[in-house]
Amino acid sequence: MDILVVEDDPRICDVLEYALKADGYSIQTTQRGREAVEIARRTPPELVVLDVGLPDIDGFEVCRLIRKFSDVPVIFLTSRADEINRVVGLEIGGDDYVTKPFSTRELLARMKAIRRRHQRNAPPGPPPENLLRHGPIELDAEKFLVACGGREVTLTRQEFKLLELLIRHPGRVFTREQALDRAWGEGGLVTDRTIDVHVKTLRKKFGDYDFIETVRGIGYRARGL
C-alpha cells in the first residue's frame, strides 16, 4: 500500500516514515502542497496523510485540487480545533483527521478504518464479460459458442472474433483496418477485403437477424440496441 505523506515538519515526517514503513507501507513524502498534488496525479497513492499548515498552499487547497481527479482517502493532520469542522466538511472532502500531537498508533488505526470503509463502499467489479447478447444473439467468449434465437451457429475463428468485436460495442463504427487489428491481431495474410468477405458470411449465417450495418466509406457496426 502506497501512502503519500504531506508534512512540512521534518521531525513529524521522520516519525511517520519510520512508523509506516515498520507497518509494511511504502511511502512518498513531500513538504509542499503543490508538489503533493503533482505526485497524487503522477503516481496515484492509495491514501494521503495531509498536514493542514503547509508553506505554499494549505492542506485544504491540496485536498480540493486532488478531489478534481481522485477520490483517494485523505486523512488530515491538524493542530487547531477550529480546523476540524472544515476538514471533515463536505466542502473539503477529507475522510478523517488526527489532531497534533498524535500517536502514530492512532494514525495507523484511523488509516485501517478508512481502508475498510473504502473497500466496503467500492463499487462491485464489472460483471463477467464473457457472455454477450445482441438481440437474439448470445455469444460466450470463453467457450467460443454462439447461438441465435437458441439455435447454435457455427463460425470460424475469424468470424467469431469479428462478431465479438462488433456486438461488444453496439453502435460503434469500426473501419476495416481497426477490425483487422482487433479481431485478427497477430496479422497474417489479410487485406481490407477480408473483412468484407467475413461480414458477408456473417450476414448469411444470421439470416433474418440483419444486425451489421455498412457505414459507407468507413466500415461496419452492429446496430445499436
Interaction between residue 51 and Ca ion (CB under 5 A): yes
Q: What is the bridge-based pairing of β-strands 137-140 and 131-134?
A: antiparallel
Q: Does 46 bind Ca ion (CB under 5 A)?
A: no
In the complex with Ca ion, the residue whose CB is nearer, 6 or 155, is: 6
Closest CA to 89 of 54, 64, 66, 110: 64
Segment near Ca ion (CB under 5 A); pick from 52-60, 100-108, 145-153, 179-187: 52-60
Is 146:160 a contact under the CB 8 Å cutoff? yes
Shortest-Cβ-distance residue relative to Ca ion: 53
Q: What are phi and psi of 97, to 5 degrees?
A: -150, 160
Q: Which stretch binds Ca ion (CB under 5 A): 45-53, 59-67, 117-125, 187-195?
A: 45-53
Q: Which of residues 73-92 bind Ca ion (CB under 5 A)?
A: none
Which residue, 53 or 135, has its beta carbon nearer to Ca ion? 53
CA 176 to chain centre: 29
- Between 64 and 223, CB nearer to Ca ion: 64
# chain residues binding Ca ion, by CB under 5 A: 3
Shorter beta-carbon distance to Ca ion: residue 31 or 178: 31
Minimum CB separation of residue 100 from Ca ion in Å reads: 9
Q: Which stretch binds Ca ion (CB under 5 A): 44-52, 136-144, 190-198, 201-209?
A: 44-52
Binding segment for Ca ion among 4-12, 31-39, 169-177, 205-213 (CB under 5 A)? 4-12
Cα separations in angstroms, 8 against 79, 80, 87: 13, 16, 18
Question: Taking the alpha carbons of 131, 136, 137, 143 in that order, is the dihedral positive or negative?
Answer: positive
53 binds Ca ion (CB under 5 A): yes
Q: Which is nearer to Ca ion, 51 or 159 (CB)?
A: 51
Which residues here bind Ca ion, judged by CB under 5 A? 8, 51, 53
